[in-house]
Amino acid sequence: MNHRDDPERLLVDPAVLATLRAELDDDEGWLLFLESFLAQLPLRIRKLLTGLLTADHSLAMDAVLSLKISSQMVGADRLAGMALQLQGFLEDMGQQGNAALPQLAGRHLGPITACAEETAVSLAGGPVAAGAA
pLDDT of residue 8: 64
Helix (H) or strand (E) holding 106: helix 101-125
Query: How many whole angstroms separate alpha carbon 44 and alpha carbon 117?
Result: 12
Q: What number is the average pLDDT over the span 104-124?
A: 94
- Cβ–Cβ contacts within 10 Å for residue 83, how many? 27
SS (H, E, C) 15-59: HHHHHHHHHHCCHHHHHHHHHHHHHHHHHHHHHHHHHHHCCCHHH
Query: How many whole angstroms separate alpha carbon 58 and alpha carbon 43?
Result: 16
Give whichever of 5-9, 93-97, 125-129 has the largest mean pLDDT: 93-97
Largest distance between two CA atoms of the chain:
48
What's the pLDDT tens digit per position in 27-83?
Answer: 788 889 999 999 999 999 999 999 999 999 999 999 999 999 999 999 999 999 999
pLDDT of residue 109: 94
Tell me the pLDDT band of 126, cut-offs 50, 70 and 90.
low
pTM here is 0.85
**CB-count exposure of residue 38 (10 Å: 0-12, 13-18, 19+):** middle
| Residue 91 clears pLDDT 50, i.e. is over it | yes
| Domain-wise residue ranges, the chain | 11-125
Task: For the domain made up of 11-125, give the CATH fold.
Answer: Four Helix Bundle (Hemerythrin (Met), subunit A) (1.20.120)
Q: What is the distance, to the nearest Å, from the Cα of residue 71 to the centroid of all Cα atoms in its chain?
A: 4
| Residue 4 clears pLDDT 70, i.e. is over it | no
4 contacts 118 by C-beta, under 8 angstroms: no
57 contacts 98 by C-beta, under 8 angstroms: yes
